[in-house]
Amino acid sequence: MYCVILAGGSGTRFWPLSREEYPKQLLKIFGNQTLIQATLSRVSDLIPIDQVYIVTNPQQLEQIRFQMTNDTSKRLNYISEPERKNTAAAIALAAISLRRIDPEGVMIILSADHFIRDEKGFKQILQHAADAAQKGHLVTLGAIPNRPETAYGYIQAGELLPGSQGIRSVERFIEKPEKQVAEKYLLDKSTFWNTGIFIWKVSTILKEIERFMPELSEGLQQIEESFDTPSEQETLKRIYATLPAISIDYGVLEKSENLVVIPTDIGWEDVGSWNALDEVIPKDEEGNIVTGNVINVGSRNSTIYAKNRVVAVVGLDNVVVADTDDATLVCSKDHAQDVKKVVELLKLGEGDTHRVHKTVIRAWGSYTVLEEGPGYKIKKIMVHPGAKLSLQMHHKRSEHWVVVEGVATVTCGESVYTIQTNQSTFVPMGVKHRLENATDQPLRLVEVQSGSYLGEDDIVRFQDDYGRVSPE
């Protein structure tokens, strides 16, 4: 058995906590684990870690790696999509990767950002589903509804397969319904939430893709032929751009005669918007979910997410407030689906609050712009133990570095030297330089840039551990 975790979220629905380069799966929305960490934990005693494949994109890959333990990260398999397509292409890419290893293997497809309350029940149902998959079925899990949810798609089940212990044929897929319709489904006992959790053999899904999505299948073949050749990356990038961006449900499952559904009651939730937290997080006596530095005077039924900044809420009812270092959302719970419109509007503007947090994660660590003004920029920089930034040069700015924690190894022109906590150095304009943390402790420093132009793109890279070219 193999597990394929789809981890390519777009980061719009939990903005401002989520961002394009930091989507929901990377957040600790409940408990001590991020959603992707929890997803991995959930299957860890069912599937060896080196049989787990994470499908993601280059922007998110580094942060996912960072969230795994060293051992896990080394054994995990990563499949990097050159660009975000929908689930059909992502699953197909995973399937051709697995075909090389085990064409008759069973793949379990999970989203990195779902919630499942009953982990034991989940594992049992996956075992049951894998048995059905071995027989050549495309298996999907259907969650038994406990409320007339309008934010989920539904699957209408048909007859029980004889001797199958609860496995049913699939009549049809149903788009997100109106409230009244959802209330009907809640009662009829044969319509289930579409969980997007799929179980099938590699060979089965590839055959169905060949049948129902021939253009995807042809693209896959070209990509597969380039595997282990020098043109592998280039081919993947070129072909992937041409693949259809549709869901596996729409592209294959709705058309297949092979599909079955297993109804389950494992406390599955998609947690697709801020108000969906109400279903998965316990509330206080006034119906509030409160995190962080919050002062509440008489608010009810509200979700208040803060960190260090003070957030005071007075007399609110049915409102979500989510505060981050550079952006705050205040949203009526009845309009939580419209948060994505905020992100669309932000994309049209000049800022990048839709894309990254104030603290920007990089492979070597992170940086935070603390303040900008005419001719200067103040950054806090953190470099992971053993990591180094690229050997670089700026045409239009000089930089002061003051170490506040750890030891920095500095290359500046022809010199290489170390500076410690409470020491500083100066990198003149036009001089090749490099910042490195050669210790096993984090390095933190303040960078004060001065110059006529301070854009991130004034950078000439000469050597980089992360393969970046210049400008990034």
Tell me if 330 contacts its own copies by CB under 8 A: yes
Query: Segment contacting its own copies (CB under 8 A): 40-48, 128-136, 231-239, 295-303?
Result: 295-303
> For residues 127 and 1, what is the distance between their CA atoms, to the nearest angstrom?
10
303-305 vs 319-323, strand pairing mode = parallel
| Nearest distance in Å: CB 331, its own copies | 4
Q: How many other C-beta atoms can be found within 10 angstroms of the C-beta atom of residue 225?
A: 12
Calculate the dihedral angle through the C-alpha atoms of 389, 394, 397, 398, rounding to the nearest 10 degrees: 60
Q: Which is nearer to its own copies, 75 or 300 (CB)?
A: 300
Under rule CB under 8 A, which residues in 435-454 are in contact with its own copies? 444, 446, 448, 450
> For residues 316 and 320, what is the distance between their CA atoms, to the nearest angstrom?
9
Tell me if 412 contacts its own copies by CB under 8 A: no
> For residues 277 and 265, what is the distance between their CA atoms, to the nearest angstrom?
19
Q: How many other C-beta atoms can be found within 10 angstroms of the C-beta atom of residue 66?
A: 15
| Nearest distance in Å: CB 144, its own copies | 31
Tell me if 311 contacts its own copies by CB under 8 A: yes
Tell me if 418 contacts its own copies by CB under 8 A: no
Q: What is the DSSP letter of 112?
A: T
Phi/psi of residue 123, nearest 5 degrees = -65, -40
Query: Segment contacting its own copies (CB under 8 A): 147-155, 162-170, 247-255, 394-402?
Result: 394-402
Under rule CB under 8 A, which residues in 9-48 are in contact with its own copies? 15-16
Under rule CB under 8 A, which residues in 144-203 are in contact with its own copies? none
Whether omega for the bond prior to residue 471 falls within 30 degrees of 0, making it cis, is: yes
Query: Segment contacting its own copies (CB under 8 A): 123-131, 237-245, 262-270, 340-348?
Result: 340-348
| The two structure tokens encoding residue 37 | 């960490």
| The two structure tokens encoding residue 290 | 């409160």
Contact between 212 and 256 (Cβ < 8 Å): yes
Query: Segment contacting its own copies (CB under 8 A): 82-90, 137-145, 147-155, 313-321?
Result: 313-321
Q: Which is nearer to its own copies, 167 or 329 (CB)?
A: 329
Produce one character per residue of 33-59: b if its CB has 16 or more CB atoms within 10 Å, e if not: ebbbbbbbebbeebbebebbbbbbbeb
Tell me if 83 contacts its own copies by CB under 8 A: no
Tell me if 329 contacts its own copies by CB under 8 A: yes
Q: Applying CB under 8 A, which of residues 421, 431, 438, 470 lies at the interface with its own copies? A: 421
Which residues are near its own copies by CB under 8 A?
15-16, 295, 297-298, 309-317, 319, 321, 323, 326-332, 334-336, 338-339, 341-342, 345-346, 351, 353, 368, 370-371, 373-376, 378, 380, 398, 400, 402, 404-405, 421-422, 424, 426, 444, 446, 448, 450
